[in-house]
């Protein structure tokens, strides 16, 4: 097995990161049927499992909480044994489905702080990456996971925005921080949910990205079929390959040299 390609999808909340992450997984599964592919839901909102048609029974945070509980209950020996077995427990937590594996980091009980889970996620990426050919990570909204070096060993960084100024600003900020903290090989942006291409031209959005050294991978128009898919709770595997989301995701992966 060659070097692992680790694809992290990042951007502002509500711009379609999960839709594009799930499309990436489907495209890689279809293009590389013999490859080992891991999808990681690193967003506490936990939407990737639904998009991929996966049922999650245990998350990474469940494992972490079990270890912490053992320590708090005065069972340090048991906790150490569980830590030593963490790799195997993580594999037990994975869901095997449609020629890919799936892992969810979960949602911590303490509101507002995902520091411990993010630290655990970083170790998991380091631990498991070599066991897979492709890893697709649906990141949490914003810059936190980049800032905390959770994604430092990512090979491909895909930044998602909608046409809004705020979405583009978040992409620009992530790119600046990633240039210092992430050892990526390729980086590019996708502008999603574009209703009118003329608006992008008038706003100078593409030119602005180019000036910031961010390659535009593709622009994805509004996708009614995908919206209906979401409403019905269908997975990305039920989506037409001609849908704007699937076509756009394919174009992005091709530009990144992954298809």
Q: What is the CATH number of the domain that holds 177?
A: 3.40.50.300
CA-CA-CA-CA dihedral for 155, 85, 111, 192, to nearest 10: 30
- What's the pLDDT score for residue 71? 67
Q: If you search the block for the tokens 């992005």, which residue do you land on?
A: 252
Number of domains the chain is built from: 1
Domain that holds residue 204: 5-255
Question: Which portions of the chain are predicted below pLDDT 70?
Answer: 1-2, 70-71, 76, 78-89, 92, 98, 107-118, 120
Q: What is the pLDDT of residues 127-141, one digit of tens each?
A: 778 889 999 999 988
pLDDT of residue 147: 73
pTM for the whole structure? 0.88
Say what the pLDDT of residue 115 is.
Answer: 61
């Amino acid at each position: 097995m060659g070097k692992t390609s680790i694809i992290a999808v990042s951007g502002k909340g509500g711009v379609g990161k999960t839709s594009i992450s799930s499309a990436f997984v489907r495209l890689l599964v279809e293009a590389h049927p013999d490859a080992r592919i891991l999808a990681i839901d690193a967003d506490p909102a936990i939407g990737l499992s639904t998009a991929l048609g996966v049922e999650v029974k245990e998350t990474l945070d469940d494992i972490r909480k079990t270890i912490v509980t053992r320590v708090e209950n005065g069972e340090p020996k048991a906790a150490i044994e569980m830590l030593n077995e963490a790799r195997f427990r993580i594999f037990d937590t994975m869901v095997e489905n449609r020629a890919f594996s799936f892992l969810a980091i979960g949602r911590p009980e303490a509101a507002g702080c995902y520091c411990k889970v993010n630290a655990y996620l970083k170790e998991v990426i380091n631990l498991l990456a070599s066991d897979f050919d492709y890893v697709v990570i649906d990141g949490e909204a914003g810059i936190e996971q980049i800032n905390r070096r959770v994604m430092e060993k990512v090979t491909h960084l895909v930044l998602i925005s909608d046409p809004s100024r705020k979405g583009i600003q978040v992409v620009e900020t992530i790119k600046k921080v990633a240039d210092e903290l992430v050892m990526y090989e390729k980086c590019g942006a996708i502008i999603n949910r574009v209703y009118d291409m003329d608006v992008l031209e008038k706003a100078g959005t593409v030119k602005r990205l180019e000036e910031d050294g961010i390659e535009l991978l593709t622009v994805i128009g509004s996708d009614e079929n995908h919206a209906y898919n979401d409403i019905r709770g269908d997975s990305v595997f039920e989506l037409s390959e001609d849908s704007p989301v699937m076509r756009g995701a394919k174009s992005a992966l091709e530009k990144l040299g992954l298809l």
